[in-house]
Amino acid sequence: MAPPAVARVRGSAPRRGRRPPAPAIVGIGQTPFARQLGISETDVAVRAIVAALDDAGLAVRDVDGLCCYDIESTGIAGVVATLGLERVRFFSTHSHGGGAYCAVIASAADAIRAGRASVVLAFRARNRGRRSSFGRGATEGGRPWEKIEPRIAGFYQWQVPFGVVAPVHEMALIARRYMLDYGATEEHFGAVAVTMRSHAVRNPRALMRQPITLADHRASRWVAEPLRLLDCCLESDGGCAVVLTAMDRARDLRQRPVRIQAAAQCLGPAHHHPHDWFAFERRRWMRAAAARLWGEAGLAPADVDVAMVYDHFTPMVLLALEDWGFCAPGEAGPLAARGAFAWPDGQVPVNTHGGQLSEAFIHGFNNLGEAVRQLRGTSSCQVPDAEVVFVAAAASDPYGALVLVR
């Protein structure tokens, strides 16, 4: 007996020959950045989201997808309840913080490509200024590392009881080894700080706009040798959101769309907790991710006009540029010292808004906003006719990157 015919629902059959919709960023929004905003993280999130929708010319009711980090204190359900969203059909939450931030955007783009949603929001809201703490919980503002429990069962038990407690301590251990392996110097790290600040000077949103010199960097206090205060990102309050939709719809909206040309992620066993970081050769899977990114983009690092590199600490910018193929391991420091990453004359201006070292630390999302501004032609350090922007997540494991084009 023949199997019963399956009733075909109209529109459910895959349409052969039709290209999947190309995802594009059509709106960006952010709150002001501050040492302390004095409003809740939920408030920060929805203000950034509404600003991004306004920027795009879309309404709150148009949203049918959301993506965010799993360290978001409000979370997707909180945002949906706060804004009264009723059409959400795609939602996804991503682990691992800054190393996986490009995955939040990649997942939003994939949802649009697959037809799972038509207007997807990605957002990050964080009150992590030192004075913004209002409780003992890790998500109750302020510095999460200061709120560790008196007994630790997870991987932090292998470092926090010994005094290696904050991200800067972990990164100092990685930075020291990078100096030993490749001859990087404190001056190379300083060059990154000075370059980012020179960009922030022109950016009215930036928290730190006083120009600095290499001497200022050298005179700033040690936090964890070999890292000084000016090697560290800011501790700030603020939120950022982006809105994605399909290119065919994007053309009717308010802003020039920015296409997601390529995305790549990777995750190996070398998490940034130092005992595992050094135990595994992360470049083995890292290089494969870089090959996937540039292969999917059909482009090479030489085609990039501007780069937005996750800058939680200065050495990690150098590491990321080497990892994704902008230069060989060990070359990024001397290049930074020669001004290769400075606007307007460097070969690849990096973080033209001042980055997280000088604008604000919004877990990468403010760097993404600047990537979009460069492709719209509205940056305060505009690279003329920028067509290709590279965006890197935090140099760690997991890891990821995006290539954006207009």
Partner 1 sequence: MTADDAAAVRPPLPQPGPDTAEFWAACRRHELRIQRCGACRRCRFAPRPACPSCGALRFRWVRASGFGRVYSWTVIHGPTLPAFQPLVPYAAGVVLLDEGVFMVGQIRGCAPEALREGLRVRVEFDDVTDDIALPHWRVVRERSRSTRARAGARRARRLP
Residue 131 binding partner 1, by CB under 8 A: no
**What residues numbered 3-62 form the site for partner 1, per CB under 8 A?**
none
Q: How far is the CB of 214 from partner 1 (least distance, A)?
A: 20
Identify which of residues 93 and 220 has a Cβ nearer to partner 1 in the complex.
Answer: 220
Identify which of residues 227 and 262 has a Cβ nearer to partner 1 in the complex.
Answer: 227
Neighbours of 185 (CB within 10 A): 14
Identify which of residues 4 and 150 has a Cβ nearer to partner 1 in the complex.
Answer: 150
Residue 285 binding partner 1, by CB under 8 A: no
Quick one: three-class SS letters along 121-150? Answer: EEEEEEECCHHHCCCCCCCCCCCHHHHCCC
Neighbours of 37 (CB within 10 A): 21
Whose CA is closest to 112, among 152, 73, 63? 63
Q: How far is the CB of 381 from partner 1 (least distance, A)?
A: 32
* The one among 59, 81, 114, 148 contacting partner 1 by CB under 8 A: 148
**What residues numbered 176-195 form the site for partner 1, per CB under 8 A?**
176-177, 180
- Cα distance between residue 192 and residue 336, in whole Å: 6
* The one among 161, 183, 344, 377 contacting partner 1 by CB under 8 A: 161
Residue 134 binding partner 1, by CB under 8 A: no
Element (H, E) at 259: strand 258-266
* The one among 3, 17, 84, 150 contacting partner 1 by CB under 8 A: 150
Torsion of CA 338, 342, 344, 346, to 10 degrees: 40
Residue labelled with tokens 């050094």: 278
* The one among 83, 106, 120, 172 contacting partner 1 by CB under 8 A: 172
Residue 164 binding partner 1, by CB under 8 A: yes
Residue 221 binding partner 1, by CB under 8 A: yes
Q: How far is the CB of 175 from partner 1 (least distance, A)?
A: 8
Q: How far is the CB of 382 from partner 1 (least distance, A)?
A: 37
Site string for partner 1, 263-282 (x = CB under 8 A): ------x---xxxx-xxx--
- Going by their DSSP bridges, the two strands 65-69 and 23-30 should be labelled as unpaired
Q: Are 27 and 81 in contact (CB under 8 A)?
A: no
Whose CA is closest to 123, among 53, 67, 81, 84? 67
Identify which of residues 143 and 287 has a Cβ nearer to partner 1 in the complex.
Answer: 143
Identify which of residues 207 and 224 has a Cβ nearer to partner 1 in the complex.
Answer: 224
Residue 217 binding partner 1, by CB under 8 A: no
161 is written with which tokens?
A: 């009881």
Whose CA is closest to 243, among 29, 68, 42? 29
Residue 76 binding partner 1, by CB under 8 A: no
Whose CA is closest to 383, among 394, 392, 370? 370
Residue 219 binding partner 1, by CB under 8 A: no
Q: Output the CA–CA distances (angstroms, integers) from residue 133 to 157, 207, 235, 237, 364, in the order listed.
A: 24, 19, 12, 11, 21
* The one among 134, 135, 149, 378 contacting partner 1 by CB under 8 A: 149
Q: List residues binding partner 1 (CB under 8 A).
A: 145-146, 148-153, 155-166, 169, 172-174, 176-177, 180, 221-227, 269, 273-276, 278-280
